[in-house]
C-alpha cells in the first residue's frame, strides 16, 4: 500500500512535468486537501518537549516516569504513554553510570543549612538481628542543629512509609524549607515527589555519585 507521503511526492513530480495539480490528483486518486494539511501534533508537543529537555538536563538520573511528575507541576499534565512517546522521539535516556571518583574532603555543600528547620537530611542505615533478619532504619536529621529528629526501624520501608514519617515530623516541628537526600528509589519515587509540594518543601538531592 502506497503511503500518503509517497502519493504527494508523485503528484509534485507530475506537476513539475506541466500537468495541473487537479489533474495529477485525479490520476493518482489523491485528495487535493492533503496538500494544505498542516500537522498540529508537532505544534502541540513543542512546549512540552522544551520543558522535558530542560528537566532531563537538570535531573540526568531520572527516567520519563519521574520527569512526568515535574511536567505536571509545570502545567503539562499528560498520560504516561504520551510522555514515553515524546521521550523516545527526542532520544532521551538515562546515561550510564560512570565509575565513582574520590571526592575532595573540603568540597562545599550545595545549599548549606542557615538555621534550624531550614534543611533536613534523611537517609537509610542498615543493620541485622541475631537471627540474620535485615533491619532498615530511616534517619532524619536537622543539618543545622545536628538533632536527630527520627529513627524509624522496620524490615522494609517503602515510599509510603517515608511520607508517613515525614508527615509526622512536619506536624511536630514544622516543615523545613529543603529536604536533602540521595537519589535512592525511596527518595525520588513519584509518590514522594508528589507529596513534597503539598507540604511546601523543596528538594535538595545530592549530586549523583558524589556523597558527602
For residue 8, the model assigns a pLDDT of 66
- Does residue 164 form part of some domain? yes
Counting the structural domains of the chain, the total is: 3
126 with 199, same domain?
yes
Using an 8 Å Cβ cutoff, are 46 and 170 in contact? no
27 with 52, same domain?
no
8 with 77, same domain?
no
Between CA 145 and CA 140 the distance in angstroms is 12
- Does residue 160 form part of some domain? yes
124 with 185, same domain?
yes
For residue 169, the model assigns a pLDDT of 92
CA distances in angstroms from 13 to 2, 4, 64, listed in the order given: 16, 14, 42
58 with 79, same domain?
yes
CATH number of the domain enclosing 135: 3.30.420.10
Sign of CA dihedral 130, 133, 134, 135: negative
For residue 141, the model assigns a pLDDT of 92
48 with 30, same domain?
no
10 with 63, same domain?
no
- Does residue 47 form part of some domain? yes
The string over 131-152, giving b where at least 16 C-beta atoms fall within 10 Å of a residue's C-beta and e elsewhere, is eeeeebebebbbbbeeeebbeb
66 with 17, same domain?
no
Residue 13's domain comprises 4-36
For residue 51, the model assigns a pLDDT of 92
- Does residue 145 form part of some domain? yes
Between CA 25 and CA 32 the distance in angstroms is 6
For residue 131, the model assigns a pLDDT of 85
CA distances in angstroms from 71 to 19, 127, 159, 177, 202, listed in the order given: 50, 38, 20, 22, 16
18 with 48, same domain?
no
138 with 197, same domain?
yes
- 159: three-class secondary structure by DSSP: helix
27 with 84, same domain?
no
- Does residue 61 form part of some domain? yes
- Does residue 211 form part of some domain? no
CA distances in angstroms from 177 to 46, 109, 116, 120, listed in the order given: 33, 16, 10, 8
Mean pLDDT by 10 residues, the chain (212 residues): 62 70 72 68 87 89 88 91 90 71 56 80 86 88 90 86 90 89 69 85 69 54
Which cell goes with 181? 537526600
Amino acid at each position: 500500500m502506497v503511503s500518503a507521503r509517497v502519493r504527494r511526492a508523485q503528484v509534485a513530480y507530475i506537476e513539475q512535468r506541466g500537468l495541473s495539480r487537479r489533474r495529477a490528483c485525479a490520476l493518482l486518486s489523491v485528495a487535493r486537501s492533503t496538500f494544505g494539511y498542516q500537522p498540529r501534533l508537532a505544534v502541540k508537543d513543542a512546549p512540552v518537549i522544551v520543558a522535558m529537555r530542560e528537566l532531563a538536563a537538570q535531573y540526568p538520573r531520572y527516567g520519563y516516569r519521574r520527569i512526568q511528575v515535574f511536567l505536571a507541576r509545570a502545567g503539562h499534565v499528560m498520560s504516561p504513554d504520551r510522555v514515553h512517546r515524546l521521550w523516545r522521539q527526542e532520544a532521551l535516556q538515562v546515561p550510564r553510570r560512570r565509575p565513582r571518583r574520590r571526592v575532595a574532603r573540603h568540597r562545599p555543600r550545595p545549599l548549606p543549612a542557615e538555621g534550624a528547620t531550614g534543611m533536613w537530611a534523611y537517609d537509610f542505615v542498615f543493620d541485622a538481628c541475631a537471627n540474620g533478619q535485615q533491619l532498615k532504619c530511616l534517619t532524619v536529621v536537622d543539618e543545622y542543629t545536628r538533632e536527630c529528629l527520627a529513627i524509624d526501624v522496620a524490615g522494609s520501608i517503602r515510599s509510603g512509609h517515608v511520607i508517613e514519617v515525614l508527615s509526622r515530623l512536619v506536624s511536630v516541628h514544622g516543615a523545613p524549607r529543603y529536604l536533602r537526600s540521595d537519589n535512592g528509589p525511596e527518595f525520588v519515587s513519584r509518590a514522594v515527589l508528589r507529596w513534597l509540594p503539598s507540604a511546601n518543601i523543596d528538594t535538595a538531592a545530592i549530586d549523583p555519585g558524589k556523597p558527602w
